[in-house]
């Protein structure tokens, strides 16, 4: 059972997943800082970005804090924009540049494939 567990843990996809989670957690802090320290102050300078104080009071003990929801949605959109414009878009541009620079060449045929091609051509040439 220990051998199976060791094989499971050392498989590539488990290790890759663990590394991805760790890097993703660290990257989350970078994006959160970008949104909190750059984008939110810019939006605040334009017209305010903190809506957490907006509420609807139904009764003395029932308060709907829709302002916090609006702030969370704005934060989500800013984070998504930051990830798209600073990570996804540049990586797509790099991938496109690589693709343009490398044109695929068809692989060389093996001896078996050459023989099979010749056999096929001879069979096609025979009258039916």
Domain ranges of the chain: 2-103
Domain with residues 2-103, CATH architecture: Orthogonal Bundle (1.10)
- What pTM did the predictor assign? 0.50
Contact assessment for residue 89 and residue 68, using Cβ atoms and an 8 Å cutoff: no
What pLDDT digit, counting tens, does each position of 40-87 carry?
A: 777 777 766 667 788 888 877 888 888 888 888 887 888 888 888 888
Taking alpha carbons only, the member of 19, 18, 15, 27 closest to residue 88 is 27
Distance CA 13, CA 23 (A): 15
What pLDDT digit, counting tens, does each position of 81-127 carry?
A: 888 888 889 888 888 888 887 666 778 889 999 999 999 999 899 88
The neighbour count for residue 112, using CB atoms within 10 Å, is: 8
The neighbour count for residue 128, using CB atoms within 10 Å, is: 2
Query: Which structure tokens are listed for 84?
Result: 């798209």
């Amino acid at each position: 059972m220990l051998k199976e567990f060791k094989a499971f843990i050392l498989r590539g996809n488990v290790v890759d997943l663990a590394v991805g989670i760790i890097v993703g957690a660290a990257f989350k802090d970078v994006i959160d800082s970008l949104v909190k320290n750059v984008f939110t102050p810019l939006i605040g300078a334009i017209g305010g970005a903190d809506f957490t104080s907006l509420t609807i009071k139904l009764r003395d003990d029932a308060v709907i804090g829709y302002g916090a929801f609006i702030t969370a949605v704005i934060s989500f959109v800013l984070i998504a924009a930051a990830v798209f414009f600073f990570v996804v878009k540049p990586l797509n541009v790099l991938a496109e540049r690589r693709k343009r620079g490398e044109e695929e060449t068809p692989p060389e045929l093996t001896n078996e494939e050459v023989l099979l091609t010749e056999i096929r051509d001879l069979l096609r040439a025979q009258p039916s």
